[in-house]
Amino acid sequence: MESKLIIILIIVIGAIAISQLVRVYELTAKLRKHEEHEIPVRDNYLNAMLMLVFMVIQFGGLIYLMIKYGWTGRGPAASVQGEYTDWLLDLNLILITAIFFLTNFLLFYFSFKYVKRPGVKAYYYPHNNKLEILWTVVPAAVLAVIIILGLQTWNEVTGASPKEAINIELYSKQFDWTARYSGTDNMLGKTDYKLILGNNELGLMTEATIDSSIHAMRHGAGGILDIQKILNNRDTVLTDSLVNVLRKDLGTKERLLRLLNQMKATHNPALDKQVYDDIIQRDTLYLCVNKPYEFSFRSKDVIHSAYFPHFRAQMNTVPGYGTRLKFTPNMTTAEMRKIKNLPAFHYVLMCNKICGGAHYKMKMMVVVLEEEEYNAWMKGKESKNFKATYFPAPSAQAVIPAESTAISAMN
């Protein structure tokens, strides 16, 4: 408290001192019969020199940084689409850099050259149509070229994937990424948020997952039957506010149950196999070099953004709204390690939208493999598809269908 007071006091006294000094300077100038707006010739020449010095420091600094961190500081792109966008960025950067040097040179050099000299009057030159046309048409033409090339690149990068593209879903939530490979059929099975349960975190849709969600909604902990039991128990006294909360919760769950029953009625069990061969993968995303990938995104909670800096790809993930992105990795992790001379380098997928407290660590490692290595990895994964993880042991496999028939009998 005291130290703050002293700091404020120092600032106030400092301001008063400066204003008094300025006042003294003005008065002495008056005594010397010298008006304050009359700048001495010596000061003008000094300022002109400083203009040149500033220009040299500015240009030198920029060139130094470009040499130190590489021309753009980006490093090589690791995808086909990334090479297109890098080409466009380089073109823009070349133009911007050239114009920067040219305009800044003119600005500072002319300030130096045309310094005010005693007895020299400035030349009055108010207007020139030719010049006006020149500096309107040339930037317009350059901008048109940039925009046309930009639209072309945009269409290439965001356009539809080729048919043979591998489908992968990336599911975002606070604070991690889960990948879902589409399995042997290259088709991602259907999903619904209402099916999200402990053993079905991505809400995949099959007859069995619908049944277990219906079961959980009715019989699970905090389910409809539990709430009804509390509300109907005449031996306990509930406060009004608690009754309200419970009734609201009950209403929501009854509505969800109705929707689940509708889902069950319209679900086509023939589609289950699209879900069962899907492979859920955490922590590391494995990709095959030179294969086109089509990524679909979902979000469980808030808006996240899937950012693959080395592949120059980014897309928001939005709750309740699917988004997509494509790229073809064209450099394996091993190749990039060699180019960067960093033996421990890894590609990453990061969240690029401030999405909450642990946003900073919401990332997934990405490993790009040669086709052979990738196929070997995938072979090991195929036996761990959704079906295998959802029905872990043969004994459990027998229990769940029995349970589900019991549930459908109850409904």
- Shorter beta-carbon distance to Cu ion: residue 44 or 316: 316
- Shorter beta-carbon distance to Cu ion: residue 197 or 303: 303
> DSSP character for 121?
P
Q: How far is the CB of 169 from Cu ion (least distance, A)?
A: 16
In whole angstroms, give the CA distance from residue 356 to residue 328. Answer: 31
Q: How far is the CB of 295 from Cu ion (least distance, A)?
A: 16
In whole angstroms, give the CA distance from residue 230 to residue 244. Answer: 12
- Shorter beta-carbon distance to Cu ion: residue 304 or 326: 304
Q: How far is the CB of 296 from Cu ion (least distance, A)?
A: 17
**Burial, 215: exposed, middle or buried (Cβ in 10 Å; 0-12, 13-18, 19+)?**
buried
What string marks each residue from 311 to 350 as x (binds Cu ion by CB under 5 A) or -?
----------------------------------------
Size of the site for Cu ion (CB under 5 A): 4
Q: How far is the CB of 321 from Cu ion (least distance, A)?
A: 16
- Shorter beta-carbon distance to Cu ion: residue 12 or 358: 358
Q: How far is the CB of 233 from Cu ion (least distance, A)?
A: 42
* Region near Cu ion per CB under 5 A, out of 26-34, 154-162, 351-359, 388-396: 351-359
Q: Compute and round to an integer the Cα radius of gyration of the chain.
A: 34
Q: How far is the CB of 180 from Cu ion (least distance, A)?
A: 18
**Helix, strand counts (H, E) of the chain:** 12, 10
In whole angstroms, give the CA distance from residue 332 to residue 288. Answer: 8
In whole angstroms, give the CA distance from residue 346 to residue 18. Answer: 56
- Shorter beta-carbon distance to Cu ion: residue 304 or 312: 304
Strands 166-173, 293-299: pairing kind: parallel
Rounded to 5 degrees, what are φ and ψ at 297? Answer: -120, 140
Neighbours of 39 (CB within 10 A): 10
Note whether 204 binds Cu ion by CB under 5 A: no
* Region near Cu ion per CB under 5 A, out of 12-20, 280-288, 327-335, 355-363: 355-363
Q: How far is the CB of 183 from Cu ion (least distance, A)?
A: 26
| Given 204, 362, 364, 407, the residue binding Cu ion (CB under 5 A) | 362
Rounded to 5 degrees, what are φ and ψ at 389? Answer: -85, -30
Handedness of CA 210, 214, 220, 223 (dihedral sign): positive
Angle at which helices 224-232 and 207-219 cross, to 10°: 10
Q: How far is the CB of 175 from Cu ion (least distance, A)?
A: 6
Buried b (16+ CB within 10 A) or exposed e, 83-111: ebbbebeeeebeeeeeeeeeeeeeebeeb
* Region near Cu ion per CB under 5 A, out of 118-126, 303-311, 371-379, 393-401: 303-311
- Shorter beta-carbon distance to Cu ion: residue 170 or 288: 170
Query: Residue 274 has which token pair?
Result: 């699209």
- Shorter beta-carbon distance to Cu ion: residue 54 or 360: 360
Q: How far is the CB of 324 from Cu ion (least distance, A)?
A: 18
- Shorter beta-carbon distance to Cu ion: residue 285 or 355: 355
* Region near Cu ion per CB under 5 A, out of 31-39, 125-133, 265-273, 352-360: 352-360
Note whether 355 binds Cu ion by CB under 5 A: yes
- Shorter beta-carbon distance to Cu ion: residue 253 or 298: 298
Number of alpha carbons in the 13 Å side-chain half-sphere of residue 219 = 12
Note whether 304 binds Cu ion by CB under 5 A: yes
* Chain residues that interact with Cu ion, rule: CB under 5 A: 304, 351, 355, 362
